[in-house]
Amino acid sequence: MRYLSGDEEQQALKYIAEAAQIALQSTCQRDCCGCVIVENDEIIGSWFNSPPGHLENQRRCSCDKDSYNKKVTDKMCCIHAEQRAIMNALIDNPDKIICSRLYFIRLDEQWNPSKAGKPYCTICSKMALDAGIKEFVLRHDEWVCVYDTDEYNQLSFAYTE
């Protein structure tokens, strides 16, 4: 992980703001998240979290996560914004996704960008690795951080609540 500064940080904040705008389209009732994937200063994929196939009848946002069987490792009812953005990039720009950078943001209850916690989603980290994404970018308390995707994946497997 490294902290961004100067022009690189400003560029990252621009893409994080774009991801926040995309997150406003989320139909999840628990979390509103957005993601953009960038290669050579071009957004090649973007999306928000929502139920599978945009089927609202599959919504489980109001379910308590403790009500799921312990074998269910992903307790979210929605497909993650990162997953959707990766699929979008693979469909629309498959030749540009290798060595790209993924920017992710979650909105708080007042629709403001919230600060990210530690990397924790092994589903998204594995999918990003498989797609060839080079880096993850998150906005932490005081800094914007960039993680090599392999490092992000390792950290997500090491995460404990």
Query: What CATH number does residue 12 fall under?
Result: 3.40.140.10
Specify the number of domains making up the chain.
1
In this structure, how many other beta carbons lie within 10 angstroms of the beta carbon of residue 70?
A: 6
User: For 10-27, what is the HEC assignment?
Assistant: HHHHHHHHHHHHHHCCCC
CB-facing half-sphere around the CA of 86: CA atoms within 13 A: 23
Q: Which of 83, 29, 24 lies closest to 58, judged by CA?
A: 29
Q: Measure the CA–CA gap between 42 and 37, rounded to whole angstroms.
A: 8
Res 14: pLDDT:
97
Segments forming the whole domain that contains residue 121: 2-158
In the predicted model, residues of the chain with pLDDT beneath 50 are 59, 68-69, 71-73, 75
Encode pLDDT of 46-78 as tens digits. 999 988 875 555 545 555 556 544 544 454 568
Q: Which of 92, 76, 118 lies closest to 36, judged by CA?
A: 92
- Answering whether pTM is above 0.75, one says yes
> In which residue are the tokens 């060839």 written?
132
